């Protein structure tokens, strides 16, 4: 059985537009793969298909050889496919700690009620430990009991990362996670992603900051108008004339 995430022949269309056209991609445990390309290349569409937020017209997504295609997002999350979003997706009225409690408690079997997640429940010992570890890893312990509505954008990005980490990801889908971060927060993010990969989690990173991609990624996949046009090391793909034309309109 193949280990890790596999995307095979994935295609998505919106009207007459092919957002993805036969995309193949592999992500091994402990590997950080950068998914880059010009605006409109299909990067977020691919992340949404893997996470289950979008249904593909054709193709297959599997984890360790087991198909995920029929699973809704919450079941994929329970299998270990966790994600962050390009647009912040948080509950403004909850504190940072409550966000992480909801995430860790949501991994329980179906039937758990909202009141059991937050209102009248307390984390057990294992849940509390996971929450505290996640807070420390993203540097949010001092803000743990602050309502997310009061936090700046960069801190909300880190809340999303922590929420994914507390779920015990086997695959982390990170969609533009550095957007809105200041340099210190971006360095914290990079440290967290390295740590996550070091513990055996595969990270698929969609990122506009090419310096971060160059620093973090073991391998880079370049999308253009829905197709993979190059993959390899960062230096290899950036030297590819096809990639240069996609980004610059001409080869350098």
Q: Alpha helix locations (H) across the chain? A: 43-51, 73-79, 96-105, 114, 125-138, 153-166, 183-198, 210-216, 234-238, 241-248
Task: Give the phi and the psi of residue 189 in degrees, each rounded to 5.
Answer: -60, -50
Give the pLDDT mean for 113-129: 67
Structural domain count, the chain? 1
pLDDT in tens, 124-137: 888 889 999 999 98
In this prediction the pTM is: 0.88
Calculate mean pLDDT across residues 99-120.
66
Q: What is the per-residue pLDDT for 70? A: 86
Range of the domain at 138: 5-248
CATH code for the domain of 105: 3.40.50.300
Within 13 Å, how many C-alpha atoms sit on residue 29's CB side?
Answer: 10
Q: Which two tokens stand for residue 159?
A: 């809340």
């Amino acid at each position: 059985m193949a280990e890790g995430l596999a995307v095979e022949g994935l295609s998505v269309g919106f009207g007459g537009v092919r957002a993805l056209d036969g995309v193949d991609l592999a992500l091994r445990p402990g590997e950080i793969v950068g998914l880059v390309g010009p605006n409109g290349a299909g990067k977020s569409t691919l992340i949404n298909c893997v996470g289950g937020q979008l249904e593909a017209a054709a193709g297959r997504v599997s984890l360790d050889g087991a198909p995920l295609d029929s699973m809704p997002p919450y079941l994929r999350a329970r299998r270990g496919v966790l994600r962050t979003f390009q647009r912040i997706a948080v509950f403004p009225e909850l504190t940072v700690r409550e966000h992480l409690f909801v995430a860790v408690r949501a991994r329980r079997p179906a039937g758990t009620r909202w009141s059991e997640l937050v209102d009248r429940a307390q984390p057990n010992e294992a849940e509390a430990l996971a929450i505290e570890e996640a807070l420390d890893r993203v540097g949010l312990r001092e803000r743990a009991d602050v309502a997310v509505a009061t936090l700046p954008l960069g801190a909300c990005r880190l809340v999303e990362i922590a929420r994914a980490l507390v779920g015990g990801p086997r695959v982390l889908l990170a969609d533009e996670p550095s957007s809105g971060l200041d340099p210190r927060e971006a360095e914290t993010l990079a440290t967290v992603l390295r740590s996550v990969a070091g513990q055996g989690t595969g990270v698929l990173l969609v990122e506009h900051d090419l310096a971060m991609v160059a620093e973090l990624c073991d391998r880079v996949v370049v999308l253009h108008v829905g197709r993979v046009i190059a993959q390899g090391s960062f230096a290899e793909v950036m030297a590819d004339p096809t990639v240069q034309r996609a980004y610059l309109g001409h080869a350098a």
